[in-house]
Amino acid sequence: MTEPAEQQDRSYQNSLRPEDQQKVDEFLTRGVNSVERKPFRPMRMVILLILTVTLLSIFSQFIARWAGVY
C-alpha cells in the first residue's frame, strides 16, 4: 500500500536536528524578529502615494505659474 502524499514529501517533515531547531527558535524570538508588527495595508500605501503625487503636482504647477512659465 502506498503512503499518503504528506508522508512521501520530505518538505512536511522537520529536517533539522533538535539543537539546530532550538537555535532557529531563539533567533526568531530576539531582536527585530521579536517585534509584533501591524498588518501591512496596501490600500493605505496606494492612497498615500496618490495623495503625495497629487500634492507635489499641484505644488509644481504653483511654482511654474509663479516663475512665469505659464
Q: What is the DSSP string of 11-34?
A: GGS--S-HHHHHHHHHHHTSGGGG
Domain that holds residue 16: 5-67
pLDDT tens by residue, 8-47: 666 556 688 889 989 988 888 888 777 788 899 999 999 9
pLDDT at 42: 96
- For the chain, the domain total comes to 1
The whole-angstrom separation of Cα 48 and Cα 54 is 10
CA distances from 26 to 3, 8, 18, 19, 46 (A): 34, 30, 12, 11, 36
pTM over 0.75: no
**Cell numbers given for 69:** 512659465
Residues 6+ apart with CB under 8 A from 64: 70
